[in-house]
Structure 1
Amino acid sequence: MFQPKPLNIFNQVILDGYILPSKYILGPAIKIVLLLTSAYGSAFQLSWMSFYLFSNCRYTSKILLLEFSFHTTDVINLLFTCLVIVFGFNMDHFREFISTIQLLHIETDSFAVRKIKRNRRIIQALLSVAFTIYMTLYIITAKGLSIHTDNPFVFILRCFHAGLFRFGSLFHLNMICNICFCLKAAFNQINSQIANLNKLSDQSFGHLFHKIRDLRQKYSYAVRSTQSAEQLFRYYITRFYMEYFAFVTMNIVMSFGRKTRFDSSWFLYMLIDAILFILLTYNLVSVNNLSRKGMEDLYELSFKLNTFESCHENDIFIARMALSDVGFTFANLFTINNSFITSLFTLSLTIIITLASFIYQ
């Protein structure tokens, strides 16, 4: 059975980009940050929202019932977030990811390293802007809604915990995107080497046989790295998609009944969430797509192989790519790919039309 390489040499390319200094990445620092932000912020927000629901629940109309459902979903999401951080975030999977992907030596590919660093700068800038806009909007809207009910201390406390929760969520999102950058670089490196096999002038039996076997081993390392990352973030990704589509569905349904002027704050909230959704989904789907990109080159290579051993190695490689559904999953039930996102949008649209017809008929 495959055994990961011990973590004796830190790979700076892989360990950078997680907001925290790289020397703290493999210790308990990440779990502590998430406990102090997402878990603690969720616990406070959960207490506040539960009190709000019990003291303000009304069932006098369908619209009020929808708003109550919206806040109930918020409470469930906060509870799920807290449980995910406390029980569903295992740093052993992260260490396995680091130790396995180091075997691919992606730091030796200067083009891949430049691309990873550029993507890290872009994602960190976008997340910083998103956090700033979110907190500005939260302070403005919360102040307008609670100016007659909350004293300044409670208001500041609510803003502080909302900021903690949002920072923890964006910190988690940054981790996933950063890991996806490394996985995409690994699969791109393998796919590039597969494509180069078709261009080599040396088509001798020994050369092709050993090159294909070496690439199969690298592909196995990349797949195992992806599996470790998937196990680490499985529950967070599940929570993210459940939260996003639940809130988008109810926000759109409630917007049909708006009788006032255009709400710019509501639009900005929706825009920020959509941008974060696109960032995460694009990177998750890209990992799945790149894991199968080399199949066509392997098929073309089969025409140039004239020995049983080389053909057998190539057939095994093609079968592995075709049958392995590599990537991140939704609750270990569905792989995050193009079909999954399309199905989720279709389901959400159906629910929106059904709810709108029921409420506003």
Structure 2
Amino acid sequence: MSLPTSPNPSKEILLDGFMLPSKYILGSVTKIFLLFTFACFSAFKMVYYSICDLPLCNYTTKISVFKCLHVTLAIIISSLKVLMILFGFDLNYFKRFISTMELLSIAPERSALRTIKRNRQLNLIILSMTFIGYSTLRIRYRLASIQNLFEATLLILCDIFIEFGLAFLLNMICNICICLKAAFKEINSKIADLNETPKQVFNSFDEIRNLRKRYSYAVRATKHADKLFRYFIAIFYIEYFAYNNLNIVRSFGLKTQIDSLWLFVMLSLTIHLLILTYNLVSVNNLSRQGLEDLYELSFKLNSLHLYHENEIFMARMALSDVGFTFANLFTINNSFITSMFSLSLTIIIALTSLIYR
């Protein structure tokens, strides 16, 4: 006897794998947690750099100029993080994402569920390793460079809590991307199954319409997730490329040595960049993967109604730019990543030529 099916992915699947228990993730605990870690300590760091480090900046040497740029950049990034948590992170979009995903009524196979669980565990392991390594080096650096133990302790707490908040947000967005990828993969798989149906027996109008409806729910869920994370994504990319550009340009200077801590920080940020970018770009790519199957399917349709329904589905998939965005300005896809690296390389070459010629 077969068991009755229920809409899937279920709420348990969607809420599994986060750093907070699933019963708290949709409540106010998540916002309070991020306010305490990401926002509060970012605000303290911003104030500390503004009062203690920024007034000491001088522009007599190139090395001192880069140090001042790092301080200024740290203040700007910290202030953006505070503003993002206060005004740009609305958990109502996460609740809408969950409710929309439940409408998909897609039941992943056991192998797909194992893949979801394995990807979540892999992301969590990588984020945990970078967090532990970053925190350890940060503690050693602060204790070695700051004589005042109280001041060093406060800065260590800032570094650890901000990094933990970052790991939480990265884990959260990667888990959402994993669920979206599973949804689009299931839809693409069913489109491929329809395409393999022999022409003489293919006359299912309801199947195409049902898949089109599910695809619409997946697109809507992606939009809700994007509204939740678009500003975090923008700040993350700005922080990575800004620090990366400054450190690379600085490394070209004569007798310039980059601290091993900064190298590890950039390595950690690069790992985070790869994890985040892979998941974001995968959602965009999978959202159009079924287009070729839909086009081939049109040759097998034996009804004007079926052909019209398939045309609507093809237009929806071809014309919709589905995915996460950079502050609602650009969609994170292959072209965006290529453009970002090209722009970064151009800035590095220009600054290097300007400063060290």
Instruction: Give TM-score, length-normalised by structure 2.
Output: 0.94
Give the aligned partner of residue 308 of structure 1: 304
Cα separation, 1, equivalents of 2:311 and 2:239: 42
CA contact 2:93–2:225 (8 Å) conserved in 1: yes
CA apart distance, 1:182: 0.1
Seq. identity, %: 54
CA apart distance, 1:205: 5.8
Cα separation, 2, equivalents of 1:202 and 1:312: 17
CA apart distance, 1:232: 0.4
Task: Specify whether residues 34 and 337 from structure 1 end up closer, same or farther in structure 2 by C-alpha distance, changes over 3 A only.
Answer: same
Task: Specify whether residues 317 and 158 from structure 1 end up closer, same or farther in structure 2 by C-alpha distance, changes over 3 A only.
Answer: same
Unmatched 5+ stretches in structure 1: 1-6
CA contact 1:234–1:332 (8 Å) conserved in 2: yes
Give the aligned partner of residue 4 of structure 1: none
CA apart distance, 1:48: 1.0
CA deviation map 1:48-107 (0-9, x unaligned): 111233331101134322321221111000000000001111111000000000122345
Give the aligned partner of residue 76 of structure 1: 76
Cα separation, 2, equivalents of 1:203 and 1:184: 33
Unmatched 5+ stretches in structure 2: 1-6
Cα separation, 2, equivalents of 1:21 and 1:72: 37
Give the aligned partner of residue 195 of structure 2: 198
CA deviation map 1:201-228 (0-9, x unaligned): 4754642x11111110000000000000
Alignment of 1:35-54 (within 5 A): 35-54=35-54
CA apart distance, 1:263: 4.5
Q: Does 1:230 align with 2:211?
A: no
Give the aligned partner of residue 26 of structure 1: 26
Give the aligned partner of residue 288 of structure 1: 284
Q: What SS does the corresponding residue of 2:271 show, helix, strand or coil?
A: helix
Q: What SS does the corresponding residue of 1:348 show, helix, strand or coil?
A: helix
Q: What SS does the corresponding residue of 2:103 show, helix, strand or coil?
A: helix
Q: Does 1:156 align with 2:150?
A: no
Give the aligned partner of residue 117 of structure 1: 117
Give the aligned partner of residue 279 of structure 1: 275
Cα separation, 2, equivalents of 1:106 and 1:116: 14
Give the aligned partner of residue 166 of structure 2: 169
Give the aligned partner of residue 299 of structure 1: 295
CA contact 1:183–1:226 (8 Å) conserved in 2: yes
Query: Is 337-346 or 251-260 further displaced after alignment?
Result: 251-260
Q: What SS does the corresponding residue of 1:259 show, helix, strand or coil?
A: coil
Give the aligned partner of residue 358 of structure 1: 354
Cα separation, 1, equivalents of 2:72 and 2:333: 29
CA contact 1:288–1:327 (8 Å) conserved in 2: yes
Task: Specify whether residues 107 and 36 from structure 1 end up closer, same or farther in structure 2 by C-alpha distance, changes over 3 A only.
Answer: farther
CA contact 1:53–1:72 (8 Å) conserved in 2: no
Match of 1:178, as an amino acid?
A: N
CA deviation map 1:305-349 (0-9, x unaligned): 121111111111111111000000011110000000100100000
